[in-house]
A and B are shown apart, each in its own frame.
Chain A
Amino acid sequence: MSDTELRSEQPEDAVAERLSSAPVEGDAPVGIGALGWLRWTWRQLTSMRVALILLFMLSLAAIPGSLIPQTSENAFKVQTWKAAHKGLTPLYDKLQLFDVYSSVWFSAIYILLFVSLAGCIVPRTWQFVGVLRAKPPTAPANLTRMPVYAAWRTDTDPAAAVAAAQRLLRKRRFRAHVSGGAVAAEKGYLREVGNLLFHLSLFALLAGFAWASLASGQGGKLVVEGDGFSNTMTQLDDFSGSALYGPEDLDPFGFKLDGFTDTYQSTGDHIGEARSFVAHIHYWQGADPTKLKTGDISVNSPLEIAGSKVYLIGHGYAPVITVRDSSGKVVYHDAVPFLPQDSNLTSTGVVKVGDYGQKDGKKVQLGFSGFFLPTAPVQFDQSTGPRSLFPGDAAPALVLNAFAGDLGTDSGLPQNVYQLDMSHLSQLKQDGQPAHIRLSPGEGWTLPDGYGSLTFDGYKKWATFSVSHRPGNSVALTGAVLAIAGLVGSLFVQRRRIWVRAVATPDGRTLVELAGLTRSESAKIAEELAELAVDLQDDAPALEDDAPADDESEPAGAASAPADETKE
């Protein structure tokens, strides 16, 4: 949206001096009544000034979202914040400050901005098509008033000089035509093309995002090493779809997690910092799970399978635990994912033995809760409790408490698999103290009160994946690339006009006048005009004895004072 400063005092030359199809701004309502006001409002909305204000408002409106926790980014943080600021919460809720980027007011600003853009761009496109079809505007009456100007006198016939000028301008790839004894030439239309392209491609970007939000879906899944997963609603841990992509549209594929590799910095300042995470998988597409391919998924390289992308999101450890009843019968054997709590992967989790069976003639269930530490210290710190020292598994340990009673899993209510419902459980005691144990892999624990035993067989790793189906990416990407291309054209190309007029003077000679016009930022036009003039003097040589027509404006010591303008 560029505009040229209008230097014109003469309205008939105004056309020649406009180098942009940007709208001319009106100040007051035209006409009377509602229609006049409507038209005025529309014109205001589509003006540069309002676009500027809207852009500015958009940047202001984006700020609160970066300072206040956002539901879309981290719902947990929002809860914490709300708990800490009880007084402000209702007000913030009302103002949608926890969902800034989908709030009414934020949307209102960018929708207005896009409406303003549309209202600006559509008429400009037509106007520009008109410009391309029409010839460059004819020379203004008084060329000396133009920003750059040169003139000399010659003996060449005016018509010949004009014809030569037209030939030279065409050679310089100007659109040039002769009208009224003068050449009118123009070049640099790519500027307007670029500008329109840039603004139009913002719509392509918007369309891409709209499509994505209407037809995308995302699911999450935690997979333990050695386990498989197929992309169906029942197997996903969670799923969020959209209007056009529901559970029944899930892309058919599945994979098996063969192994997970993680490496960490083991020395220096950054000890414990992650260095690599890679999930090694076998996967299949479509209905036939026997046609397997191998693949790796790491943080920056998702795997694209059957229209979905699978991202590696997180990882952790799953201790493998076996529980036997007092008769030695195995009542539980599984790898149980524990959830990391800190960057050294101190992990917490629970084991729910729902099928323990009967003890002393009564149905009973066992529950265990505790920590898995990939690198456990020799002695736990009393104040912090068990803490891992390093995220790699250098000295793994499992720390557990034991409970017996009713887990509440039969109540039919959904339960969190990572928490014990303590309402009908009682902790097992040993020598009057709560029973707890620290185990290394391979070690076992004889439970108190004849409940049998638990063994910590070892551990596996698990990884969480996000399965995402997102169309519209290519549209948005194309929009983005075109936007940059357009921007480059619009900022680096200069649109400019050159006029050359040759007229017979009363003394029988010819006065050749050249003038150029461009946006005020560029000084290149002076150079270009000078080059053209020098070339033109081959065909219309300046009179040796004759001073240039603008001589009177050239002071004596012309070259002795700086004028940076023309040097750049």
Chain B
Amino acid sequence: MSLLASATGVNSQLADLSNKCIWSAMGVYVLAMFAHMFEWTFGSKGAVARRSVEQASLADAAAAAASPAAAAKKAKKVTVTVAAAGGGTTTLTRTALAGEGATVVTSGRGDGEQAVDGPGAAGSSERADMFGRIAISLTVLGALLNVAGVAFRGFSVMRPPWGNMYEFSCAFSLTMVSAYLILLALGKNVRWLGLPAVLAAALTLGLATSVLYTDSEQLVPALHSYWLAIHVSCAIICGGAFYAAFASTAAYLGRESYDKRKAAGLPNGPFKIPASVFERMPATPTLDKLSYRINAMVFPLWTFTIIAGAIWAEAAWGKYWEWDPKETWSFITWVVYAAYLHARATAGWKGRKAGYLALLAFACFLFNYYGVNIFITGKHSYAGVG
């Protein structure tokens, strides 16, 4: 006799709570987005000062360390000259007190030729900076709500909360925002990334709650496997990080062509974006490096994701690889990212060309997620749409 699975497998209170959290997270992300917009708008008013508070305080610390009292303790001081991409040099000064472990690092600027990072979205405006800080606080709040939404959804059915596209999207918005917040917490120069991150998170959740929504339920047998937790969570983490890299690449390409236009005497950036936006962005080498580093960090994880998928396919269907559309597009994405990494190492392909490849790779990733799930049927067609 067939047993009828009853609805008792779902805790509807938790499922409901999850929905509320997701809706709130979306609202908070939208507020964060507005705060960032104010930051960018007000930031354009003040003069663009090429100096950030952070670095000034570092300089103070270094000065304190080199003060007479410290010098009496016999300070050791080394200044390292660093050749910068683009031809100039910068310096790094390390001061250590003999007998004490602490060292202070100071960064300085060398000759004038080399590219300089902009001061960030807020420019020199304090009001803009305040909005920026509000935006970051809201983003953290949104991320916490997002975590709660994903977690309650999982607890409502006691399984990993990524069994259909609605659930992937909720997790995806979380990893996108987390990638940004982690970079920020690591002290990277990524405050500019706030706007793209919350914008994408709000859009993803908007799509999830409107088009992709489905009630919390148990899984189809094809997904009853611990590989769901491994393979799909890796794919979602990769998605968040790839997005951050994508935004950096886009910013790099924008700033690069702005720099060229500026050199040619044109007033605006590409697509009529005002110059002040680009002036506040980090310099091209910084953006380029950021996107490369994220992509390079994530690529092994992406490789693992695909291999874990293949192992799962073997357990489920008896074959590692059958060129199912999802597999094919994962492979294509992987190959394009591999091509990007190769391009970075090939003379004549660095810079803009490699940047275009990185954009293409992310487009393939997105297509694999939305396009393949929605438009193409294959064995992965339990995504819960349509």
Chain A interfacial positions (CB closer than 8 Å to B): 1-3, 5, 22, 25, 48-49, 51-52, 55-56, 58-59, 62-63, 65-67, 70, 72-73, 100-101, 144, 146-150, 152, 209, 218, 261-270, 273-277, 298-302, 309, 311, 374, 391-394, 466, 468, 470, 473, 476-477, 480-481, 483-484, 487-488, 491-492, 514, 520-521, 523, 526-527, 529-531, 533-534, 537-538, 541-542, 548, 550, 553-555, 558-568
Contact = CB atoms under 8 A, between A and B. Distances in A.
Contacts of A263: 2-5
Interface stretch (B139-147, B198-206, B264-272, B295-303): B295-303
A52 B350 CA distance: 12
Interface stretch (B18-26, B40-48, B103-111, B121-129): B103-111
B224 interface: yes
A48 B85 contact: no
B318 A554 contact: no
Nearest to A310: B318
Contact of A561 (B7, B108, B221, B335): B108
Nearest to B74: A541
A521 to B, nearest CB: 6
Contacts of B364: 59
A425 B309 CA distance: 51
Q: State which size class the interface on B falls in.
A: 35 or more
A561 B116 contact: yes
A264 B342 contact: no
Nearest to A528: B80
B323 A70 contact: yes
Contacts of A266: 4-7
A480 to B, nearest CB: 5
A530 B80 contact: yes
Contacts of A152: 78
14 contacts: A48-B342, A65-B323, A66-B323, A73-B378, A147-B82, A263-B5, A266-B5, A266-B6, A275-B221, A491-B299, A491-B300, A491-B341, A548-B79, A550-B79
Given A67-B376, A491-B300, A52 B339 contact: yes
B262 interface: no
B90 interface: yes
Interface string B280-316: 0011011001001100110110011001001110111
Nearest to B306: A480
Contacts of A311: 316-318
Given A147-B83, A473-B314, A559 B93 contact: yes
B182 interface: no
B96 A534 contact: yes
A81 to B, nearest CB: 13
A94 to B, nearest CB: 20
A162 B44 CA distance: 53
B133 interface: no
B273 interface: no
Interface in B51-90: 51-52, 55-56, 58-59, 62-63, 76-85, 89-90
Interface stretch (B171-179, B210-218, B243-251): B210-218
A473 to B, nearest CB: 7
A73 B4 contact: no
Contact of A299 (B221, B299, B345, B348): B221
Contacts of A262: 2
B50 interface: yes
Contact of B79 (A144, A150, A270, A531): A150
A301 B308 CA distance: 15
Given A218-B318, A270-B214, A48 B346 contact: yes
Contacts of A301: 225, 315
Nearest to B327: A66
B1 interface: yes
A48 B297 CA distance: 22
Given A147-B82, A263-B5, A530-B94, A59 B315 contact: no
A536 to B, nearest CB: 9
Contact of B339 (A55, A276, A554, A566): A55
B92 A566 contact: yes
A98 to B, nearest CB: 12
Given A300-B227, A565-B90, A566-B82, 5 more contacts: A52-B343, A147-B82, A466-B318, A480-B310, A554-B110
B220 interface: yes
Contacts of A554: 79, 91, 108, 110
Contacts of A56: 335-336, 339
B117 interface: yes
Contact of A273 (B220, B283, B304): B220
A562 B346 contact: no
User: Chain B: interface secondary structure?
Assistant: mixed
Nearest to A3: B345
A261 B105 CA distance: 67
A562 B318 contact: no
Contacts of B109: 555, 558, 560-563
Contact of A300 (B51, B222, B331, B339): B222
A274 B376 CA distance: 22
B369 interface: no
Contact of B320 (A298, A299, A476): A476
B82 A148 contact: yes
A520 B214 contact: no
B374 interface: no
B260 interface: no
A142 B344 CA distance: 28
Nearest to B334: A59
B293 A302 contact: no
B347 interface: yes
A558 B109 CA distance: 6
A48 B340 CA distance: 12
Nearest to B110: A553
A279 B62 CA distance: 72
B90 A533 contact: no
Given A265-B218, A270-B214, A554-B91, A565 B335 contact: no
B56 A55 contact: no
Contacts of B370: none
Contacts of B222: 299-300
Contacts of B37: none
B230 interface: no
Nearest to B106: A559
B2 A264 contact: yes
B134 interface: no
B221 A277 contact: yes
B372 interface: yes
Contacts of B116: 561-563
B79 A487 contact: no
Given A148-B83, A526-B92, A561-B109, A51 B342 contact: yes
Contact of A530 (B78, B320, B378): B78
Contact of A565 (B51, B82, B314, B315): B82
Contacts of A542: 76-77
A111 to B, nearest CB: 16
Contacts of A144: 81
B336 A59 contact: yes
A73 B307 CA distance: 20
B303 A483 contact: yes
A487 B315 CA distance: 25
Nearest to A259: B1
Contacts of B286: 564-565
B11 interface: no
B140 to A, nearest CB: 23
B325 interface: yes
B17 interface: no
A478 B156 CA distance: 38
A541 B78 CA distance: 11
B328 interface: yes
Contacts of B362: none
A49 B285 contact: no
A54 to B, nearest CB: 9
A264 B63 CA distance: 72
A32 to B, nearest CB: 27
Contact of A526 (B80, B215, B224, B342): B80
